[in-house]
Amino acid sequence: MMPSIRVLLADDHAIVRAGLRNALANLPELEIVGEVSDGPELLQALETLHPDFLVVDIHMPDFDPVPEMERIRHNYPTLKILVVSAYDDQTYVVGLLAAGVDGYHLKDQPLSDLQFAVRKILSGDRWISGPLINRLVDRPQTVEHTSATMLTERQRELLRFLTQGYSNRQIAYELGLSVKTIENHLTALYRVIGVGSRLEANNYALRHPEVLSTPGYERTQTEVVTQAQTGLSVLVVDDNVRYRTQLGKLIGKAYPAASLYEADDCAEALQLAERVRPELAFVDVVLPEKGGIWCTRQIGAVSPATRLILISAYPDREFRRMGLDSGAVAFLDKRDLDAATVYQVIEDVLNSRC
């Protein structure tokens, strides 16, 4: 019998690791030898467990993706590395491929594709998720055309602080958040606008002052109340900008009169929920800090009339049960959220008004 291929999973969300583990369990030649949730744990596990294959989300605490991947590739030249990430920024993907990873898989793709990706890499090939290929082939030379609508309200706020010279500690104080949370938000902001540092972000804002403006759908509280009487207020909570954009388009197509609000973490979602009192909220199970199930419960507490829908790229029976116990009326697989499904969800909300 051939020895098993030793696999190490690295992701800071337990539910994602569970989804990865369940998907890879269908490949009998693999043996999951460990799971880690941050950079230091990953480096220690590589040294002690000697895995053959690393499946890693490089957006983890205390982990600088490109330099760390270059270091890992140098120290473990035979290690197979598959990045599994929610981020599809071309510059970021190219940087990691250049650093020596063997594949880049998007989290919102089918789990069967993940299994195929692993087999391809084990056979000596490289892997890139289908939606990325054309974008990489046709990728622009710069990312100078980032629109203000790609940024959340929190990200624009952070960018304003950077242009004013605030330190991370000062920003944390102003927003009432931890320094670590601010660091995570800044990392996400840098990815969206395609920069790698505070200085580059500040220079980007100076070149593109329009990114500091507020889109029309983000109203004052008085305007929100007026709109809510004639339209539908919808909150989308997900730390993946790309997915929020996709879901926003589906919502707009299903109900053009909807007012859409976005949050990339629970703290921002609670602020919006308390101010807007949305009629409908889509909340991703995997969120920074305490996760989407906790977030759902908190939104329900501050806005009891909100119809809460939990969504996940890695549906799990136990998390489904916990989600419904937290006050969600439905737990949906992200892959099932097409225009027809979103339309039906909105119809249910509108019918409940009667």
> What pLDDT digit, counting tens, does each position of 318-334 carry?
777 888 888 898 888 88
> What pLDDT digit, counting tens, does each position of 254-287 carry?
788 788 888 888 888 898 888 888 999 999 998 8
Q: What angle do CA 313, 13, 263 make, to 5 degrees?
A: 65
3 state SS of 321: helix
> What pLDDT digit, counting tens, does each position of 9-30 carry?
999 888 888 889 988 988 999 9
Instruction: Please give the single-letter amino acid code of residue 253.
Output: K
* Chain-centre distance for alpha carbon 185: 11
Which neighbouring-strand residues pair with 7?
32, 53
Q: DSSP string covering 156-205, please?
A: HHHHHHHHTT--HHHHHHHHT--HHHHHHHHHHHHHHHT-SSHHHHHHHH
| CA atoms in the 13 A half-sphere facing the CB of 274 | 10
Contacts of 241 (CB under 8 A, 6+ apart): 150, 152, 188, 192, 264
3 state SS of 146: coil
Q: At what angle do helices 292-302 and 266-276 cross, to 10 degrees?
A: 20
pTM (whole model) above 0.85: no
**The pLDDT value given to residue 227:** 39
> What pLDDT digit, counting tens, does each position of 136-146 carry?
655 444 444 44
Specify whether the CB–CB gap between 205 and 187 falls below 8 A.
no
Instruction: Please give the single-letter amino acid code of residue 44.
Output: Q
| CA atoms in the 13 A half-sphere facing the CB of 174 | 14
Q: Is the dihedral of CA 233, 235, 241, 247 positive or negative?
A: negative
Instruction: Please give the single-letter amino acid code of residue 262.
Output: E
Whole-Å CA distances, 10 to 35, 54, 60, 206: 6, 8, 8, 37
Domain 148-212 top-level CATH class: mainly alpha
What residue spans in the chain does CATH classification 3.40.50.2300 cover? 5-137, 221-353
The fold of the 5-137 domain, in CATH, is Rossmann fold (3.40.50)
Confidence of residue 218 (pLDDT cuts 50, 70, 90): very low
> What pLDDT digit, counting tens, does each position of 84-98 carry?
987 766 666 777 888
Distance CA 51, CA 192 (A): 32
**The pLDDT value given to residue 212:** 60
Lowest-confidence region among 15-19, 146-150, 164-168, 289-293: 146-150
Q: DSSP string covering 47-64, please?
A: HHH--SEEEE-S--TT--
Distance CA 13, CA 233 (A): 29
Q: What is the dihedral of CA 39, 40, 46, 48, to 10 degrees?
A: -160
Domain made up of 221-353: CATH architecture = 3-Layer(aba) Sandwich (3.40)
Task: Return the DSSP state at 27.
Answer: -
pLDDT of 100 above 60: yes
Specify whether the CB–CB gap between 99 and 66 falls below 8 A.
yes
